[in-house]
Structure 1
Amino acid sequence: MILPPAMLGMLGGGQLGRYFVIAAHELGYKVTVLDPDANSPAGRIADVHLCSAYDDAAALASMAETCAAITTEFENVPAATLDFLAQTRTVRPSASAVAIAQHRVLEKQFVRDAGLPVAPFAVINTAQDLPADDSGLYPAILKVARFGYDGKGQARVADAAAAAAAFEQFGMQTCVLENMLSLDAEVSVVLARDADGHIVTFPVVENSHLNGILDVSIAPARISDVLKAKAQALATQLAQKLAYEGVLAVEFFISEGKLLVNEMAPRPHNSGHYTIDACVTNQFEQQVRALTGLPLGDARQHSAAVMVNILGDIWQDGEPAWSKATAHTALKLHLYGKHEARPGRKMGHFTTLAADRDSAHNQALIARSELGIG
């Protein structure tokens, strides 16, 4: 067990890293952030900001010397960085788990081989791997194997010709071609697993997306208790198969009443932001606890909640109308402190709280409209 006031390390300086720093500080820890952006939201509030690349030898040596344990806020940290730090320090999650989550082919194959349900897919290494029109995979989504997020590196394709064009557009890098199913809903489960294998799951969240980016998350999800329990069980099974240590998010499709694993994230997740205001322990405190060996916190939800993402698009006519959002007394506004607003960039979020889900949802939709979101 690593106790305060030890120094913890965070690879990545975005909003997820920022909330980790906040949670760690509240528990009495200090934090070093490694991020190449001098204006990174996490770096600006950390005790130490190493403004260097993720493979910078001097920065990694400094982190290895000063940090008792190290984690990450995003999955595209070089595996060699995690391996180097793990030689002398506690690193959670492991490089092997992150390597699977950062590569869609490895991820899909791991989930399938673990016995969990996934949508039909094909691995595309060359144009010759693209299935014919009669394969049963079309319509489909072509996704690059690495560095795709928030709808980037993805293309909807109706047939083999469209798939070939998209594959060429993606530079003929390895892709996954996944059958595009008719969806009843999309949900996610955020959980934490400690080094002893204990797992705590947060309530299942229902998600909707706009232009490939998460728009609204409703907690608890508007699905049956049977499906909620099944989703938590499948996420738990996946964490156990990975021998995972840390916070893990698992996204699911629900198609024709059946759950299918879509993808996983080896870190806290956008759809888990509601836990900051609506749960006894939020996902970032849970990340600190799993990293340091503290007992995992109570994940119980005490208020119905709806989270809405705030993207840079609403700054196009100047500063948004925050007075309208803050007029809602049960709305919690979170701005990430990013120095530049750009279309599609996550600049913040808000969460509405209520005694029941419908009331929270109605308030969220009103505030979303007042801010000009969507």
Structure 2
Amino acid sequence: MTALAAAQLGLKSVIFCPEAASPAFQVSDAHVCATYDDWEALARFAAQVQVVTYEFENVPLDTAEFLAQRVPLRPGARALAITQDRLQEKTFINGLGIETAPFAAVDDLDGLHRAVAAIGLPAVLKTRRFGYDGKGQATVRPGDDLAAAWEAIGRQSAILEGFVPFDREVSIIAARRADDAFAAYEVTQNVHRNHILHTSTVPAEVGAATARQARSFACAIAGALDYVGVFAVELFVVGHGADERVIVNEIAPRVHNSGHWTQDGSVTSQFEQHVRAVAGWPLGETGRIGQVEMTNLIGDDVADWHEILAEPGAHLHLYGKAEARAGRKMGHVNRIWPDGAACPRGSSKSC
């Protein structure tokens, strides 16, 4: 989707990916298929481009630093290093004076017992590195066997995070250029099923002060990281009325699933915005067009493509993946309806 956005701006994309069947190869001008530690292939790739970006945070840091020595890397390797490690990420966020869930490092079973004593239960045990959509996590409740939780995450270096009594999950998608120009989209309200994002809806049900707080957090994080490109900040909404506030959950150094609504529901999509930012071009307008809901198509959901195409106000995006599997994101659909009107599928608040 980033390559498609670049093409609309007259820019060419070269994709580096270890997977031979990468859907991005279908829409790019060229590609390099090699492992992330193939230094010769990485050098050939760098020689073909003027700037390098990445679209997920599990690119090895050594790979990013190798490329950064040869061509501008946006966002930079520091942003990647911090967001790859949940402990570093939480520590970094707290260092900015921004609230997160309580957390503690866990390096072994004894460390897990100490962390539980300090934070309390319930809590979530997460691997420090890798893992998304619920992978590499184990919920720990009073009375649970801590040894079993430690085994469940593969006895890897981890972080224990205390439960946050949140009312809603939201995110904010924002962009920063190298000259500190900054732009943010409206706060997005997110609903997860089985730890995977199900829907993202704008406008979110948050107060104006809460929305300003979310934006200020995103701006502070981007500046502290000297970030260039689009990123997401995932947040919990806690409290009510005058006491409502947001607590940061995670940072994603990339275009984000909860920003897919911008493809059809904003003046500038997050993908075009990312291309503009890394190319050093002016950032685009982030205004919203009506009310929008993005629904992920997971696994066999993609079989409904024909019905979705026939639905008024629905915009279908398929990812070109060859095989539908349980839990695999195969595409998404954006549904748009006018401000002040009921969703065309019958609900007054959400499709």
Scaled to the shorter chain, the TM-score interval is over 0.9
- 1:92 is matched with 74
Identify the match of residue 170 of structure 1 among 153, 161, 164.
153
Q: CA deviation at 1:198?
A: 1.0
Q: Do 2:264 and 2:315's aligned partners in 1 also have CA atoms closer than 8 Å?
A: yes
- 2:337 is matched with 354
Q: Do 2:213 and 2:245's aligned partners in 1 also have CA atoms closer than 8 Å?
A: no
- 1:9 is matched with none
Please give the alpha-carbon distance, in whole angstroms, between the structure 2 residues aligned to 1:218 and 1:69: 33
- 1:180 is matched with 163
Q: CA deviation at 1:360?
A: 3.6
Number of residue pairs matched by the alignment? 346
Question: Is 1:64 paired with 2:51?
Answer: no
Q: CA deviation at 1:323?
A: 3.0
Distance 1:281 1:58, change over 3 A: same
Distance 1:94 1:357, change over 3 A: farther
Distance 1:357 1:77, change over 3 A: farther
Letter in 1 for 2:294: M
CA RMSD of aligned residues (A): 2.0
Q: CA deviation at 1:191?
A: 0.4
The correspondence of residues 272-283 of structure 1 with structure 2, limited to 5 A, is 272-283=259-270
Q: How many percent of aligned residue pairs carry the same amino acid?
A: 43
Please give the alpha-carbon distance, in whole angstroms, between the structure 2 residues aligned to 1:56 and 1:261: 36
Please give the alpha-carbon distance, in whole angstroms, between the structure 2 residues aligned to 1:264 and 1:85: 23
Distance 1:252 1:361, change over 3 A: farther
Q: CA deviation at 1:107?
A: 0.5
Identify the match of residue 191 of structure 2 among 194, 205, 208.
208
Question: Normalising by the residue count of structure 1, what TM-score does the alignment of the two structures yield?
Answer: 0.88
- 2:216 is matched with 233
Please give the alpha-carbon distance, in whole angstroms, between the structure 2 residues aligned to 1:162 and 1:197: 48
Q: CA deviation at 1:181?
A: 2.0
Question: Is 1:127 paired with 2:125?
Answer: no
SS at match of 2:94: helix
Please give the alpha-carbon distance, in whole angstroms, between the structure 1 residues aligned to 2:120 and 2:64: 36
Identify the match of residue 246 of structure 2 among 236, 241, 259.
259
Distance 1:289 1:364, change over 3 A: farther
Question: Normalising by the residue count of structure 2, what TM-score does the alignment of the two structures yield?
Answer: 0.94
Q: CA deviation at 1:207?
A: 0.2
Identify the match of residue 90 of structure 2 among 108, 111, 125.
108
SS at match of 1:42: helix
- For structure 1, the residue ranges without an aligned partner over 5 or more in a row are 1-18, 369-374
The correspondence of residues 20-59 of structure 1 with structure 2, limited to 5 A, is 20-59=2-41
Deviations 1:141-177 (A, max 9, x none): 1111111101111111103753332112222111111
Deviations 1:220-260 (A, max 9, x none): 11111111111111111111111111111000011223311
Q: Do 1:127 and 1:167's aligned partners in 2 also have CA atoms closer than 8 Å?
A: yes
- 2:278 is matched with 291
Distance 1:233 1:205, change over 3 A: same
Letter in 2 for 1:177: L
Please give the alpha-carbon distance, in whole angstroms, between the structure 1 residues aligned to 2:344 and 2:108: 45
- For structure 2, the residue ranges without an aligned partner over 5 or more in a row are none
Question: Is 1:327 paired with 2:314?
Answer: no
Please give the alpha-carbon distance, in whole angstroms, between the structure 1 residues aligned to 2:146 and 2:343: 41
- 2:139 is matched with 156
Please give the alpha-carbon distance, in whole angstroms, between the structure 1 residues aligned to 2:295 and 2:315: 10
Please give the alpha-carbon distance, in whole angstroms, between the structure 2 residues aligned to 1:345 and 1:204: 25
Please give the alpha-carbon distance, in whole angstroms, between the structure 2 residues aligned to 1:79 and 1:108: 19
Q: Do 1:120 and 1:179's aligned partners in 2 also have CA atoms closer than 8 Å?
A: yes
Please give the alpha-carbon distance, in whole angstroms, between the structure 1 residues aligned to 2:84 and 2:321: 25
SS at match of 1:68: coil
Q: Do 2:293 and 2:334's aligned partners in 1 also have CA atoms closer than 8 Å?
A: yes
Q: CA deviation at 1:363?
A: 6.0
